[in-house]
Structure formats: C-alpha cells, structure tokens
Structure 1
Amino acid sequence: MRPLVLAALLTAAIASPALAQNAPAATALPHRQGLSMEMPTLQEDAALQAAVASTTRPEADRARDGQRHPFETLTFWGLHPAMTVVEIEPGRAGWWRNILEPYAAATGGRYVAVGRPTEGMGVPDGTADMVVVARAFHNWSRDGRVEPYLAAFFKALKPGGVLAVEQHRSKEGVNVAEVASTGYVPESWLIHAARAAGFELEARSELNANPKDDHDHPFGVWTLPPTRTSQGEGRTLTAEERAAFDAIGESDRMTLRFRKPGAAD
C-alpha cells in the first residue's frame, strides 16, 4: 500500500467524509496568499498506482517520479476513474499522457490530447471533467494566448470540472513579461488570470516546490534537469557549474487546482 499522507503535499481542500474516516488529524500550516492549507488524506487508487508503476512507461519518465510526484499530484487534482480528461499540449514525450491515457482506458474514462485549444477542445462543450496544463503558461503569456485558452478550458469543462495546473514558479513581485522567457511565471499572476476567466481557486499545493531553486539560471529553467542546457549565447557552463545546477534538481513549481463554478455530476 502506498503511504496515505505525504508531508510535502499541502492543500486548502478539506477531505470528504468518506476519505476523512480513520484519517490522522490535520496539521495546521502557515497561510500563503490568503489560503488556509492543511495536510490532506490521499485516497488509494489501485488503477492509478498501476499506471504510474507500469513498465510500459519510458524508463526516463519513471526516473523523474521522485521529483514530479505523479500519483500524489494527480490525487491532489482529484483524478478518479471514468473521468474525461483533456490534456493541453502534452508534447512529443507525453510525460503526463503516458499515465493519463492508460489510466483512462483501464477505468472507463477518456483521455483527449489537444494542441490548439482555440481550434477545438476535442470534447463537446461542458463535458470535460478535468483539463490538465503542465508547464505551458510561460509560453502562452508571451503571445497573448492565456486569455483565449482559459476561455476555451472554461467552456469545455462541465460545472464543477477541474482545471489542473503545474507550472514553473518565479519569485513574486516580478513582471510576467520580463520573466516568462526564462520559463517561470509568478503564481499570483496565474491565479489572477484563471480567476478572471471565471475559475475558482480551490486548492494549492507545495508538493512540487523546490526551495533550492533560486529561479536565476543562465539558460532559464532549461538549465536545470531534465533539459540541462549547458551552452548558449556565448557561454558554456564549467563542469562545476553543471554539477551545481544538477544538484538543484527540477524547478520550483506551483501545483494548483481550479474549479469551474457549479454543481459537479
């Protein structure tokens, strides 16, 4: 059995009565951006455990699980069997797709990959249970796609549906237009954009936080693993510099759960 409580997972959600039964007492944690945060109780999901542990996933994907926390993150987002899940720009490597697609197939759900949301979300309006966006808002902020994309997500989700976000997080108090080219954006900016599109911020987690990441790297977030860019713009990292950036690990990331207002099915 996988441990039900992770010290790293911080969320504002209150466990449902079914999940809270026999749960350990929640630990009070500091407030951040006005949100109360508690230790959650994670529900066991054998199908999700199997999808994450499957040897059909690329070895390189599984090697990153310790830093990307797929089971815990998907549980935080509220993934459960028979959902219709739309992933935005899954990329050629398909890190999340390699978990979500077999999970949907095993549980009677549906997985849909979408590359250009404004051209279609792949599902009828108001029918998606979850829209997943991982590490993409920094790109969209640079060419005006944030607002129309969020509108497309909102339209595709059913009332009570979830917008699940994982994103490289910059320091607060910086201009998104100046920092987005490094791959990072401020958490407060993203929350504001989603709220402006009609979403409610239901919970946020420090599960994928990395306090060792100071967000200041010669080649932006791509200096860090897994990309590990070491040369460009007339500069080449020394072996010592490369080792130091590798020691940081993957980026400091926000993990957010937004909900479209309305009653879920």
Structure 2
Amino acid sequence: MKKNSAIALLFLGTATLLHAQTLSPPAYITDAVADAARPATDKQVDNDRKPAALVTFAGIKPGDNVADVMPGGGYFTRIFSKVVGAKGHVYAVIPESLATKVPPEKFKPIHALVADPAYSGNTSLAVRPYDRLDVGAPLDVVWTSQNYHDVYGAVPVFSVSGSTGPEQAAKLDAAAFKALKPGGVFIVVDHAAAPGSGGRDASTLHRIDPATVIAQAKAAGFELEGTSDVLSNPRDGHDKSVFDPKIKGHTDKFVLKFRKPAVGSKAES
C-alpha cells in the first residue's frame, strides 16, 4: 500500500505536528471566505481548496503583513486581504522571470484585483527576483501555493538563465527567511510526488517530494513547525501529471508550516 505524503512526513523529525482540520476557523477567516466580493469562480472550488482550514493553519490574522508569492489569479490574495483588514497588508509577489516571459494579458486578473476597491486599500503588486522579497515592510507570513515545484523544476517560464531550478528555489527560501519578522511563518502548499523522488518529477508531472522542500527550507534557517493533511488524497498514485483529467483538482497535496526562529531562541543562539 502506498502511503500518502502526510504520513511520510511523520518520519521527518517534525517536533510539533499541527493539523488544520482540527482547528476551528475564527470568524474573521470564515467571514473572509464568505465575502460577497469574491468571484463565484473562486467560491466554486472552495470545497476542494479548503481555504478556511489552510488560513487557520497558517495563523494569518488581522493586522498581518502577508506576501502571496506567485498568486495566480489571486484566489488566496482576496481572502488574505479580508483577513488582515485595514491594519494589515497583502503583497501579491510575481517572480521577475515570470513577469518577463509570460504575455501581459496573463496578469490582467491580478492587476484587476489590486485595482478593485474591494481590495485595493490593503493589497499591492510587487515584481521581484527570487532572491528578494523586500516589499517595504517586515512580513508576518510568506505564502506560496502550488508553485514551488515550478521554481525547483525550472519550468521554462519560471526559469532563470544560467541558474538551476534548485538554486532558485533555495534563493526563494532564503529571501522568505530574510523578509520575515523573527517568529514569522513560511507556508508551502504543493502537489506531492512519490516519497524519495526528490525533485525528479517537478518539471514533468509538476510534483515535488515534500522532503525536498523541507530540506531546502531548513537549510535557509527555518524550523518545520507542522504539517497538515487537509489536502491529502491517498488514492493519488503520484504517477500522473497534475493536469491529467483523471487527477486534476484532486491531487495529493502537502501543506508545510515553517517558522523563522524568534530572536534569542535556542535555534538562534
């Protein structure tokens, strides 16, 4: 029997395992998910993407500064905007390599989002290379969902000339560590590859072994605080592309929560 990615993570030395599905979302998160300003197309996939559970697991709260790295059309950006409120800020961060290679019309949805009065008061767009997340304010949370494998696998539009994908992913981790406040959180959500496969399937099946992400984030200085299996699917054999109609939208996904050690902590000494 194949073990799903969340079970495999139990053997990776996690000191404290937190499970998103066991935490009750506070009202400011459920209200953000239910917000009438969210597009119907976003709400239609909430049952699969489970935003309330994930945002609760991440610990995002009113007043936080959040970087949504590689935000796509802004599915989570909108929710973050409503959660952090007027005293917080959300930065939709697009990698410089992506911005220079993808047709401009692909970014119309995120440009429209940051210009929308429902979100523009506390949401802005930033284009940055992988090694810089200097958005002008210390961050409480850096979040990236379903794109780490693209960077690691040097998928063409995410690639940087003269550099490998693993190098760029490591730079992203280091940039997240630097941009976060002491005690800040780094969340990585992605499609799981077969245990032990490393980054082998990152550019082909668009999957990555969570152990590879953990190793890179720890090398950047992060501590793995917890995992969640809220998006896991033990029926996924990890052998198909995430775009295969047989599994699209229902892949086995891992959720990793890393924390930057607080100043004066044992890890910092």
Relative to structure 1, the CA distance from residue 256 to residue 107 in structure 2 (aligned partners, 3 Å threshold; closer, same or farther) is farther
Higher relative contact order (CA 8 A, sep 6+): 2
1:48-67 equivalences in 2 (<5 Å)? 48-67=29-48
**One-letter identity of the residue aligned with 2:79:** I
Per the alignment, residue 256 of structure 2 pairs with 256
* Alignment partners' CA distance in 1, 2:25 and 2:192: 29
Deviations 1:44-89 (A, max 9, x none): 4222111101232121211111111111111111111110001101
1:111-150 equivalences in 2 (<5 Å)? 111-116=90-95, 117-118=128-129, 120-124=132-136, 127-143=138-154, 144=165, 145-150=168-173
Structure 2: state its 5+ residue gaps.
1-5, 96-127, 155-164, 265-269
**One-letter identity of the residue aligned with 1:94:** G
Q: 2:49 touches 2:231 (CA, 8 Å); kept in 1?
A: yes
**One-letter identity of the residue aligned with 1:222:** F
Relative to structure 1, the CA distance from residue 197 to residue 120 in structure 2 (aligned partners, 3 Å threshold; closer, same or farther) is closer
Relative to structure 1, the CA distance from residue 39 to residue 194 in structure 2 (aligned partners, 3 Å threshold; closer, same or farther) is closer
Q: 2:19 touches 2:57 (CA, 8 Å); kept in 1?
A: no
Per the alignment, residue 193 of structure 1 pairs with 216
Shift of 1:142: 2.2
Shift of 1:38: 6.0
* Alignment partners' CA distance in 1, 2:173 and 2:19: 29
* Alignment partners' CA distance in 1, 2:197 and 2:26: 39
Structure 1: state its 5+ residue gaps.
1-9, 12-29, 225-244
Relative to structure 1, the CA distance from residue 44 to residue 140 in structure 2 (aligned partners, 3 Å threshold; closer, same or farther) is closer
Q: Structure 1 vs Structure 2: percent identity of aligned residues?
A: 32
* Alignment partners' CA distance in 2, 1:47 and 1:158: 23
Per the alignment, residue 238 of structure 1 pairs with none
**One-letter identity of the residue aligned with 1:76:** F
Which moved further from structure 2: 129-138 or 116-125?
116-125
SS in 1 for 2:212: helix
* Alignment partners' CA distance in 2, 1:87 and 1:38: 22
Q: 1:138 touches 1:181 (CA, 8 Å); kept in 2?
A: no
SS in 2 for 1:115: strand
Q: 1:199 touches 1:258 (CA, 8 Å); kept in 2?
A: yes
**One-letter identity of the residue aligned with 2:43:** R
**One-letter identity of the residue aligned with 2:75:** W
* Alignment partners' CA distance in 2, 1:142 and 1:38: 28
Structure with larger Rg: 1
Match 2:244 to one of 223, 246, 262: 223
Q: 1:114 touches 1:122 (CA, 8 Å); kept in 2?
A: no
* Alignment partners' CA distance in 2, 1:39 and 1:121: 28
**One-letter identity of the residue aligned with 1:102:** K
Relative to structure 1, the CA distance from residue 51 to residue 257 in structure 2 (aligned partners, 3 Å threshold; closer, same or farther) is same
Match 1:45 to one of 1, 5, 26: 26
TM-score between both structures, scaled by the size of structure 1: 0.72
Relative to structure 1, the CA distance from residue 178 to residue 249 in structure 2 (aligned partners, 3 Å threshold; closer, same or farther) is closer
Per the alignment, residue 99 of structure 1 pairs with 79
Shift of 1:174: 1.3
SS in 2 for 1:167: strand
SS in 2 for 1:214: coil
